Structures are given as structure tokens and as C-alpha cells.
Structure 1
Amino acid sequence: MNNSGAAAGSRWLLVGLGLLIALIGLGLAGGGGYLVTLGGSGYFLLMGLAMFVSGLLIAKRKPAGAWLYGVALVLTAIWAVWDAGLEYWPLVSRVLTFAVIGLVVALIYPQLARASGVTPGRGAYGLAGLLGIGVVATLAYMFVPTHVVKSSSEPAVTPVAPGDEQKDWAHWGNTTAGNRFAALDQINKGNIDKLQVAWTFHTGDIPESNGSGAEDQNTPLQIGDTVYVCTAYGKVFSLDADTGAQRWKFDPQGSGPNWQRCRGLGYFDSHTSAQPAAPATCAKRLFLPTGDARLIALDAETGAPCDGFGDHGTVDLKTDMGEVKSGYYQQTSTPLVAGNVVIVGGRVADNFSTGEPPGVVRAFDVHSGELVWAWDPGNPNTTKRPPPGETYTRGTPNVWSAMSYDAKLGLVYMPTGNATPDFFAGERTALDDKWSSSIVAIDVKTGQVRWHFQTTHHDLWDFDLPAQPLLYDIPDGKGGLQPALAQVTKQGEIFLLNRETGVPIARVEERPVPQGNVPGERYSPTQPFSVDMPSIGNQQLTESDMWGATPFDQLMCRIQFKGMRHQGVYTPPGLDRALQFPGSLGGMNWGSVSVDPNTHYMFVNDMRLGLANYMIPRDKIAAGASGIEMGVVPQAGTPFGAMRERFLSAAGIPCQKPPFGTMSAIDLKTHKLVWQVPVGTVEDTGPLGIRMHMPIPIGMPTLGASLATQSGLLFFAGTQDFYLRAFDTGNGNEIWKSRLPVGSQSGPMTYVSPKTGTQYIVLTAGGARQSPDRGDYVIAYALPKK
């Protein structure tokens, strides 16, 4: 190319670059100006104007354009540190994009200088080199795992004493205490790098991601040399613990329009019960909850229904419930086997109407299926079946998550939901308000309430208790132990109570909370805060907490934020657009916790997703409104429906700063947060749902259960990327991971085969919550055979 051609090319390059910078600046200035009118930061307006003028000057081939941009970039860096501190992800959002533009401007500066008749030096290239190094280093650091909270010390690992090894995984949470801890150490920190897939089984029952809400969230059971799994559609498989070979299969022939899942099975062994002799058949039995509201007892040896239980093996849970529309009442969580009774609650469809099916909890005889007792939250006089012609009280608080049981105290601990609808509660009764969003301790023999503790008063946020209570004995400071109960919540609070009395062990304060003004509603003036336990991911957000992958979606998130009312965790729903953080998914959810009794560390995973909501007058609700998790819900029977939307950027990224999901260790002796790490990468997700294929450990929303072992390992798979991970329980470092064929919401479990002496880690993989990829995998890991 001759000199004239090169000059023309250079001229058009500068014109094009300048106009691009000017257009970017114009967009920033427009959005920034609107943000200022909302009372927000003036930075984006000023930076947009600077870029607009800078771009026009560059298009005119004026070196002053580059100088102006350089000054604006330096001021941006100063503002970013002032606004966000020295946190990596907030600074990246504010500075990186502008730094890349600055790098390009530095590279073209010599052309600007020559265009103005000045001989350029080499300083611009040196500056470009420094910016390039900074950009590359910043991008590289994205892949470096970084603790939110680092541990200051690490406890020693206690070996499992001979004879103390765990024998079976007989309950959803391993024990009825829900500890998800295994006293096994064959797989340990010294050899986990050798862990590999030992066998894989396909159920053939893939939970379809077609809007039906089917999800695989199972934790398998293991009894002796057999593993039991259930699928989202309720099929049960018995597998050889060493090979994964199928022994039997049971299909309940169930159906349901939505929310299909089987989180776990119940198990009962007649040989360990108080009855004189075990029956000839069904001495060991499984209890299967179905999505169409049945409780089925199966012979654990053959898979055949236990004929003497209920009606040829089945108890119809719709009995005495009144009208139950399809999908309005179903079983989604594991039944609790507590002594000689099996106890079930039930999921009630949220937000369709008042007067939905009852939230009654019932205990059935494990042998006969006869009703032993019922707890009707709306009628304390109904202790078994209601009088003829009547039903259990409709629309009452339910127990949809897993329950716990203390055999020594004879108490069952039930985490209750709230009386539906969730976001308008003016119609609720005094008993609804009494029992909603509470831990209720029930006498296992009589069904009578011993005590209860409420975690949210007059719940307007869907802060129902989502997790199995952890029963754990903690040091009392006097050389003894006290019986404790730890309950995690959607609002990021953790309550630590004496499980014999319900009295808080860790201090709880009633604090004033914002009051609303929706006609016909009433508001609790205070809410309980567990002030002596760590709060997880529930800080009150400010504009500076807004985030985006670039400054542009950060600006849009700031505009969203300033256009909403946000008053902290208990921001009441209103007719205006309000921000609830955490949202109704949590915080913490159904996966519950695990604990290591040797260190007293409790492990908690969370998600951090805000919810934008507002009430809609009844006459404005469109026909057919039926948002299950998001969208417009009708709340028929009340004056208002409600809109619910995730607080996301236009790119589908949470609007608040990362992490969006973490794993935390809490010392139950000291009540202190020991360590906290982001969990999950964007490898299998990303903006607009496009997979980034990059293992950037930003910390994504989690949904699932963890597993702690005595070898100092914590296993977890409930992330949005497709991995089973192991963390060092002492410091939170990720020390191993294995790629899964699809994502998993399963709770990993572990056992040692009584035949071979091999320790296995087993989980199911049916798909991550936000991924369209689905599967039917049961996967077992073990060390290589010697």
C-alpha cells in the first residue's frame, strides 16, 4: 500500500474508533443522566460526557481526545476504589472495559500525534504495554479461586477408631438428626486425587425440562450391600452397592402436572423395632412418597408393595383433605421414619388461592399404615381423622421440607411453611400466624406440640422454612453438652436453639422492621434476628453493590435498583416495585446442612438471588395467571395478585455483586464464621444463557445438599456447572473435582461395601436447575483397586 493509501486507512481508523467511543459515551451519558434523576450516582453521566467529547476529538484526529480519555480513565479508577473498595469483582465491573478501550486509544495515539504534525515518542506504546499487562493479569486472576473469608487456623483430622465406622446410610440426612456426616476415612485428603468413577447406572427416567418442574434432587440410601434411589417421577431402583447392577425396579405409575421430584425414601427395619418378631415379608421396607399424594411401602428385598400396609401397600394421602386439584398437593420430600411411625407433611401449591389443601402432618404406623396421629395447624382438637363430613383445616401452614427426630427426647422437629398465598396475608387466621414459618416440636407418640419457635412473623416474603433442622449436641461451656437444633432459613439467618425447650442458645433479638401500606394487610412491627450466629448473604443492598459484567449492564442494574424500594431483608411487598434480598429461593434452601462432629463445623451452602415484586389489584390480573416460581400469581381470594421477577441484568446475570453462591463453615462452639468460599463457575452457563466454557470461580447460586466425612472432606455437587467437588473442611480449599455428564442437585452420600470393603461416594445427576441438559445418571466413585 502506498503512503496515501496508508494515510487514508489511518484516517478512517481514527474516525471509526472515535465515533464508536462517542456512541458509547452517548449511551452512558443518557443512562447516567436518567440515573441522576432517580437520585443515583453522577459518575456514569460524567464519564459518558467525557467519552463523547473524547470520541469526537479522536474522530477529528485531535490528540486532545486521547488525553481527555486518559484523564477520565484515571478518574474512573479513583472513583471505582472509592465506590467499591478493593474487591476484585466490583473493580473489574467498573474499570476493565474502560481499560481495554484505553489500551486501544494508547496504541492509536501516535497516529493522532502525526495527524496533528507532531512527531510521537514511544511513551504511548509503553503506556499501552502497561495497560495490556494489567488487562491480561486482571483476566488471568478471574480464574483464581479466592476466599470470601479465610480460615485463621485449621483443626486436625481425627482418624476413625476401629469399629466406629459408619455401616449404613439409612435416612435422607444419613441420620434422623440430619447431620449428613459419615465416620469414614478410606477416601481422604492424601488419596482423593486418585478418586475415579467406579460404576454408572442409568435409570432411564430423565426429568424433562419442559416446564413441568420435574427435577432430580435425590439422596440415595444404602443398606448393607444395596443402594436405593428414586427418580423425579417416583420410580425406585435397587442397585448392587459394588457394581451398580439393578436388582429390582418399582414404578408407582404416578402422574402430576408440575413440581415432580423425589428427594428421598424412608427406610424401616423390623429387626431393630420393639415388636417381638419381624414379619415374614417386608421386614425391611422402604417408604416412597409420590407426586400424586400417595405413600407406598415397598419390600426392600424385592420391591413388591407391602400388602399389609394401607390398601395393599398404599396410603392415599388425599383422604380427609377435601378437594385436591391436580398439582395442588403432593409429596416432594422424604418421609421421616421415627420409631414405629412414618411421618409425612406435603407440598401445597403456592399462591394460586386461599383455601388450598390442608397443611396437616400425619403419622402412620410403619406396619399397618393406620393413622396414629395428625397435627392440624388450624384445629388443635383434631388429633386423628376429622369428624365425619369434615376435613382437615384448609389453607393452613404445611411442612414441605424434611423433618428431624430425636429418639431420646421423643420429639419430631417440623420446619413449617406459611399459609398460602405468600405475599398477601390479610386473610390469615390467628392460628395461621402462630404456626407459619416456625420450627414445631411434636411428641412422636401423641402428635401434641411441646414447643415451637417462629423465625418470621406474619410472613409476607415466602420465607417458609426450607431445610431439615440439624440436631446436634454442642459444648455447654461447663464440660458437658447441651442438645441443640440449628435451623437455616431463606433469609440467610441461622437459629440455634435448645431442642428440648426451644429456647435460643445463640441470642435472638426482635428488631423493628419496615411497615407497609397495602390496603387490608397487617404487618409485624418486629422480626427475629439471630444476632449471635453469622448471617449469610443477606446484607441490605446499596447502589454501590450493583454489578454487571460491564459498566453498561451495571448502569442498567443501578437504574433498576434506584427505581425500586429496598429496605433490607424484610422489605414489605407493596403496590410499588420493591426489592427483596434474599429472594424467596434463598438464602438457604432444601439442601440443608452437613456437620463434622469432630471439629463442630457446620457447612452451609447458599444462593444470592434478589426478587423484584409488586402487588397487582384483583381486576388487573390476567386470566390464567399461574407463575409457579416467577411471573404473575393470582392469589385468588385476596384483593391482590403479585408479580415476581428475578433481579437480573438484561444479560441474565444477578444485579448485585458476586459471589452469587457460597459454601461456609460455621463453628458451632464459638458461633463464628470460620471460612467462606465462592462455589461454582460459569463454565456451563453465562450471559443470556450462553455457556462461557470458562471455569471462572465467581460463585454461582447453589441448590442441593453437601456431605462431610471424618477424613476432612466436604463433597458437593449442587452448582450450575457440571462437577462433583471435594473441599478441605479445615480451610475451604477445593482439592478435587470430577466432571459430571450433566449438572446435579443430588445430595452425595457415602458408604463402605460390606462385601469388598471399598468406600464409595454416590450421587445422582439429572440436571442443574438453570440448565436444559438433563440425564438419568447414578454415579459411584471409588479409589482404584489395589
Structure 2
Amino acid sequence: MTNRFYYHTTAGLCFTLLVLGFISRAGAQAKPEAGWSNYGNGGGGTRYSPASQIDRRNVGQLKQAWTYRSGALPHDPELDKKAAFEATPILVGGKLFLSTPYDHVIALNPETGAKLWEFDPQLELPYGASEVTSRGVSAWRAPRAKAGQQCTLRIFIGTLDARLIALDGATGKPCSDFGSDGEVDLTSGVRLRDPGDYQVTCAPAIFKDLVITGSSMGDNRAVTVERGMVRAFDVRTGTLRWTWDPIASWAYRTTPRTVSVDAQRDLIFIPTGSASPDYYGGIRKGDNQWANSVVALRAITGEFVWGFQVVHHDLWDYDVASQPTLFAWKDGTPAIAITTKMGRVFVLNRLTGAPLLPVEERPVLKSDIPGEESWPTQPESAISVVPEKLRPEDAWGIKPEERQWCADKIKAARSEGVFTPPSLQGTLVFPSNVGGVNWGSAAYDPQHHLLFMDTNRLPIFVKLIPRAEYDHARKNASDSDRLHGEFARQVGAPYGMFRSPLLSPSGLPCNAPPWGTVAAVDLFLGVKAWDAPLGSWIPGRHTGTITLGGPIASAGGLVFSAAAMDNYLRAFDSETGKELWEYELPAAARPHP
């Protein structure tokens, strides 16, 4: 979801890459480079570093080593309003590789921050863009390279104008043997409805000699949108090797997030999007299998293995935004953890999709919208990390009159739990499509079987608008609704939609803080271990803020996150959640550290 609340809150987006160096009296220590080989530091998305030099005792000694400014802005007056620097750099072959919101790929010297090369993809965006971001690049190294051979290290990026590009890691020049002059057109075979809404924003996955990518699509436009295919291409030639298309009689925004890879077992795990449109499903009857799911495929062929749906017949924009986390269960069984926007964590057998912690189908509220057939049950996990209901008595405000204002707003809407269906009077979706856990995903510490995640607690007011009333409602919207909210036509459905965060007159959420946290879950016990506010919107108080990135963990017993909106990078004790250190950045940081 692209909500103006995000962008107004994060005004002055940071395009500075900050690296912190550890200053030790012992001087340089000759330890091998830990590296960070891909977006999640390993195909399993654990975001865990085995480096232990920086630990609980000395994290306070971290100092700035260097700063690099990408110069990505200004670019386009309108598109810049959406721009977000969300890329996680990768460290491969002694170089740092990163991407900018406009898909420039940059290679840096990790010791000095000096730019080694920069590639400009010359984006063509005549129709605008649903999102303006890139979450990173991927790397593939030829196993038997000859001396002087070009493109032995290939850097791949998917672009906002739906191309897959291969670059020489040494020079930044396109690999001419890949596709057509170094790129593959991902719109080939796709019936475009709105060209600016079909994009790639996430780092591709690498499996042996395949580069695998999905797509990102603008939501809530219409009933019928582009097909959300996942495709695998030969890393050398760009030849299409296989396609997986989950489409049935509805459309998906499939895999706007990152695929996880189990190379040993020839498996990839795909987090899928919601069926279209998000908030009305009267045209897409049934549970909408395999939307809102994690699907396992054979990596070499794209053959379906198993799927697990976290939400049936989604009416809340509860797509699986997070990269699945691969880990070993108590007895060594290959396992997978799925974090969700609902704040529920599902733990499954990686080979079969069977739950390793209890999952129960529970009855949920029925929709009162004519033509809508909401699904009667939803899967409930044994683990939940955020509140799932907001009542008038839960209202919060800085002053008593603000608290009463919020209580009245909650009372006027339908607010009966996490799966309260959208309505004509207005429904509070809580937790909302912001999360719970969003695209920032999770980090996993195998030493203590702890899963770390940044969480959100922001209620969203959602109202369906009959088609005949939609234009009038939009034309006569209040200034506040125009500033913070979003109108969506949902063309082809009998209802348009309006949604907006439930904010008090002071601009703070109507629910009690914390509004964002770093949480830890003991996966073996199936319980939340700790939950610490992340950032603050009120000076002197640990309120937490909405978080739009994710954490990383290290063998030094630390969890790092810079996802809060108060411009700080923080370190927490991984076992207790105690905040140990903070460092002020030039602006709020969306990427993982």
C-alpha cells in the first residue's frame, strides 16, 4: 500500500548511505570478511551476521567511518514525492553494491566509501509509477571463470519500468550476452492495463544458474489488473526457463516482496499478494487460492510443491509482505517462519507446509455488503505479536478532549477484531495493511532460536463507497482526508474505496502507544520473548513510531534497526530487548542496516 501518511511522516527522505566502523584499542583484527551476500544475507532471509566483534560490551564505541550521498534527488517533481530509499546494500567480492529509488546501481569501496562505478538504467516512465523505490540488487558469480573474462560477477536489478538487467560487477557495464544488450523486457507476455503500475521493486532471487523475479503492481485500481507471474531466467543468456502463474478467475499482485531460496533442497518460497481489488471480493468468489500465501516451488522447474494461505478471501490488504525465514526446527526438521501484517507468525515444515506450531481455523464476522461472500473462517496462529482489536475504551489522546474525539470515531465505525469486514459505515482495520509486520521482514538468531521483527500498531479507517456516490465523495473530501487518505476506484466493482489512518487532531494515532516496536519470538517455545518500543514521536517518551524497514541480528548478541521515523539507528540486546545504543542519522532510514 502507498499511503500518504508514510511520505508526509518521512518528509526529507534520506539518500545518504552511512557506514559505522568499530574503533578498537586493539587495532585492526585479522578476521575473514563476514560478507552480506544478498538482500537477506543468505537465501533463507535470516538477516543474521556471524560476525561477533561488535557485541553488547562495545557497541557504544561505534563511530561513523564514512558517508556516501547518492545524489538521487531531485529527479522528477511529481515522482520524487513517492521516492523512498529502501535498498539494503550487499557486500560481495570486496565491493558494496546498492540501488537508488530510480534504479541506479552503484558500487562502492567498503573501506572508504569511494564510488567505483555507477549505472543509470535510463528509466522510461511516461505514465508515472505506482512506487518509486528499489530494495536492492542480487549477485551471481560464475563457478569456472577464465582470467580476464567479463561478467564473471553479475549484478542483477529489476526496474520500475519492468526490465531485468544484468551488469558486470567489475565495471557496471551491461552484460551484452544477457537478453537483449544486457536486459530482458518483463512486460513481454503481460497484458498491461496501466503501464506505470507494473514494476519490479525487490531484489531478484538467485538459484544456481537461474535469476528469479516476480512483479509489483499498483493496488485498488480495478478488478482486472496485470497477471502476477513469477519467472526464472538463465543468468547467462536471459532465456526464460519457467513461469509460475497463480492466476485463476481473479488477478494477483504476486511477489512484490522477496523470494526465499533453499538451494540444498531445490525449493523456493514465494510470498504472494492479495486478489484484486483489496477491499471487495464479490466478483472473486471462494478463498482465492493461492493469494495471501506462501507457495513452495521446485526451483529448477517452477513446479508447485505446496502452499499455505494465511488469509482466505482477503478483504483487508493483508498480503504476505515479508520474505519468509528459513531455519532449522528443534529436531533439525527444515522449517519456515511466516510473519504477517496481522502480526501472526506461522511456523511450518519447509518440506510439506504442515504446521509445526498449532494453527486453528476460527469463525470470523460475516460481511454485510450486498454481493460480498466473505470466508467464514480464518487461520489463527499460536503466535501473535500485536493487539488485534480496538475498542472505544482503548482510545488514546494527548489531552482528554483528543481521547474523547478518538473514542467517538472508534465507536462510529465497525471495530470488532482483526477480520472485521469493510463496510458502508466505515470499518477500523486493526492491525492494518501497514502491519503487524510489513516488507521489512524478520531476522533470525539460530543460537537462541529467536525471530526478530519490527511491528506496527496503526488503525486504518476503510469505507466502501457505492459507485454512484464515488465521484461526489472524492470531490467533497475534507482537507484532512485529502492529506492523509486515499481514494481508490476499484474499477469493475460496485464500490469504490476510501482509507485513511485513524489520527487524532494532533496527528498522532488514536490507539495507545507503542505505535512501533522491535519484537522477539522464541520459535521453539512459540511465545513472544520481548517487545521494545522503537523510536518516539513524543520527546522524552518511548512511544515507538511506525516502522518501514526491518531488523538485522548478529552473533554479538545484538539486534539493529533504523526503521523508526525519528532518524535513529539503534542496537538492542537480543536476549532482553534492552536498548544499548543509538546514533542519529540525517533522516529516517527505511533499509535494513
TM-score higher than 0.5: yes
Q: Does 1:416 align with 2:285?
A: no
Q: Structure 1: which amino acid aligns with 2:524?
A: K
Corresponding residue SS for 2:265: coil
CA distance in 1, matches of 2:518, 2:267: 30
Hey, what does 1:718 align to over in structure 2?
A: 563
Displacement, 1:278?
8.8
Displacement, 1:163?
11
Q: Does 1:170 align with 2:42?
A: no
Hey, what does 1:743 align to over in structure 2?
A: 588
The two structures have a TM-score, normalised by structure 1, of 0.68
Hey, what does 1:43 align to over in structure 2?
A: none
Displacement, 1:206?
2.8
Hey, what does 2:346 align to over in structure 1?
A: 495
Q: Structure 2: which amino acid aligns with 1:178?
A: G
Retained in 1: the 8 A contact 2:92–2:139?
A: no
CA distance in 2, matches of 1:310, 1:530: 44
2:138 counterpart (260, 266, 274): 266
Aligned length: 554
| Cα RMSD (Å) | 2.2
Hey, what does 1:654 align to over in structure 2?
A: 509
Retained in 2: the 8 A contact 1:358–1:395?
A: yes
Hey, what does 1:671 align to over in structure 2?
A: 526
Retained in 2: the 8 A contact 1:377–1:397?
A: no
Residues 346-361 of structure 1: pairs in structure 2 closer than 5 A:
346-361=215-230
Retained in 2: the 8 A contact 1:422–1:459?
A: yes
Hey, what does 1:640 align to over in structure 2?
A: 495
Structure 2 unaligned residues grouped into runs of 5+? 1-28, 476-481
Hey, what does 1:23 align to over in structure 2?
A: none
2:152 counterpart (283, 289, 309): 283
Hey, what does 1:220 align to over in structure 2?
A: 89
The two structures have a TM-score, normalised by structure 2, of 0.90
Displacement, 1:224?
3.0
Displacement, 1:186?
1.4
CA distance in 2, matches of 1:724, 1:585: 21
CA distance in 2, matches of 1:205, 1:594: 29
CA distance 1:574–1:278, shift in 2 (3 Å): farther
2:123 counterpart (251, 254, 257): 254
Q: Does 1:699 align with 2:544?
A: yes
1:610 counterpart (459, 478, 483): 459
**Which shows bigger deviation, 446-455 or 576-585?**
576-585
Retained in 2: the 8 A contact 1:172–1:265?
A: yes
CA distance in 1, matches of 2:296, 2:592: 25
Hey, what does 1:551 align to over in structure 2?
A: 400
Retained in 1: the 8 A contact 2:391–2:411?
A: no
Hey, what does 1:375 align to over in structure 2?
A: 244
Q: Structure 2: which amino acid aligns with 1:607?
A: N
Structure 1 unaligned residues grouped into runs of 5+? 1-161, 380-392, 683-691, 749-786
Corresponding residue SS for 1:285: strand
2:324 counterpart (469, 482, 502): 469
Retained in 2: the 8 A contact 1:606–1:703?
A: no
CA distance in 2, matches of 1:572, 1:507: 25
Displacement, 1:723?
0.8
Displacement, 1:276?
8.4
Q: Structure 1: which amino acid aligns with 2:132?
A: Q
Displacement, 1:453?
0.4
- Deviation digits for residues 570-615 of structure 1 (CA, Å, limit 9, x no counterpart): 0001112111101111111000001111111111111111111111
Residues 563-578 of structure 1: pairs in structure 2 closer than 5 A:
563-578=412-427
Hey, what does 2:295 align to over in structure 1?
A: 440
Q: Does 1:396 align with 2:252?
A: yes
Displacement, 1:354?
1.8
2:554 counterpart (674, 685, 709): 709
Corresponding residue SS for 2:176: coil
1:198 counterpart (57, 65, 68): 65
Identity %: 38
Retained in 1: the 8 A contact 2:363–2:377?
A: yes
Looking at CA atoms only, which structure, 1 or 2, has the larger radius of gyration?
1
Retained in 1: the 8 A contact 2:549–2:591?
A: yes
CA distance in 1, matches of 2:93, 2:148: 19
Q: Does 1:512 align with 2:367?
A: no
Q: Structure 2: which amino acid aligns with 1:733?
A: K
CA distance 1:728–1:609, shift in 2 (3 Å): same
Retained in 2: the 8 A contact 1:467–1:592?
A: yes
Hey, what does 1:307 align to over in structure 2?
A: 176
Q: Does 1:579 align with 2:428?
A: yes
Hey, what does 1:524 align to over in structure 2?
A: 375
CA distance in 1, matches of 2:483, 2:161: 17
- Deviation digits for residues 125-180 of structure 1 (CA, Å, limit 9, x no counterpart): xxxxxxxxxxxxxxxxxxxxxxxxxxxxxxxxxxxxx9996632111000000000
Give the strand-richer structure, 1 or 2: 2
CA distance in 1, matches of 2:483, 2:325: 29
CA distance 1:674–1:695, shift in 2 (3 Å): same
Hey, what does 1:593 align to over in structure 2?
A: 442
Hey, what does 1:539 align to over in structure 2?
A: 388
Hey, what does 1:152 align to over in structure 2?
A: none
Hey, what does 1:154 align to over in structure 2?
A: none
- Deviation digits for residues 321-340 of structure 1 (CA, Å, limit 9, x no counterpart): 02242321001111111121
CA distance in 2, matches of 1:461, 1:416: 14
Q: Structure 2: which amino acid aligns with 1:267?
A: A
